[in-house]
C-alpha cells in the first residue's frame, strides 16, 4: 500500500517494544457514493512488469 510508514503504524497500534512490527497494511471498506474515480477504467499492469521471480 502506498504511503505505509511502518514506524508510525507501530506507534499508533502500540506495537513499540512488543516484538511485533508492521509489515503490511490492507485497506478495508466501501467507496464513498460521490467518489469521482469509481467510474474511471481500472489500470492494471501485466504481472511480468511488477513481479520478479528470483
**pLDDT tens for each residue of the chain, 54 residues long:** 578 899 999 999 999 999 999 998 888 898 899 998 888 998 889 998 888 887
Distance, in Å, from the CA atom of 31 to the CA atom of 9, rounded to the nearest integer, reads: 23
Examine residue 15 and state whether it is found in any structural domain, yes or no: yes
- Residue 1's pLDDT is 59
Distance, in Å, from the CA atom of 18 to the CA atom of 38, rounded to the nearest integer, reads: 39
Please list, in sequence order, all residues whose beta carbon lies within 8 angstroms of the beta carbon of residue 19, skipping any fewer than 6 positions away: none
Distance, in Å, from the CA atom of 6 to the CA atom of 23, rounded to the nearest integer, reads: 7
* Contact yes or no for 8/21 (Cβ under 8 A): no
Examine residue 35 and state whether it is found in any structural domain, yes or no: no
The count of structural domains within the chain is: 1
Q: Which domain holds residue 24?
A: 1-29
Amino acid at each position: 500500500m502506498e504511503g505505509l510508514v511502518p514506524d508510525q503504524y507501530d506507534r499508533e497500534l502500540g506495537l513499540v517494544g512488543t516484538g511485533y512490527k508492521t509489515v503490511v497494511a490492507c485497506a478495508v471498506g466501501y467507496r464513498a457514493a460521490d467518489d469521482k474515480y469509481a467510474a474511471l477504467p481500472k489500470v492494471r499492469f501485466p504481472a511480468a512488469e511488477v513481479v520478479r521471480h528470483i
